[in-house]
Amino acid sequence: MDQPASVLIGQSGSTATVCLADPRQNIASIMLTRHRPVAAVTNKDTTVTVLRTGRNCTCGSPPTAPPAARTWPR
């Protein structure tokens, strides 16, 4: 983890389900590395990016680009 978060991991046979949340809802991005072999990620939310699988798995919600600057008329 690179930020404080709530993590729930459930395992059934060779399949793991990982749930990751920011209870404070104030983190712009969060990444998790699970130090277990992961052959593939078969299902994920559209906001989740998987950076690596294999000997371990790194995934999460990477930082987003800052919003474009706006000029408001006076």
| Residue among 30, 23, 38, 39 at smallest CA distance from 2 | 30
Identify whether the C-beta of residue 61 lies closer than 8 Å to the C-beta of residue 30.
Answer: yes
The domain ranges of the chain are: 6-61
Per residue of the chain (74 residues), give pLDDT as tens. 667 788 889 999 989 998 888 777 777 788 889 899 999 999 988 888 899 999 999 988 876 544 444 444 54
C-alpha distances in angstroms, 17 versus 24, 42, 58, 73?
Answer: 22, 10, 14, 49
Give the rounded distance of the alpha carbon of 25 from its chain centre.
14
Model confidence, pTM: 0.66
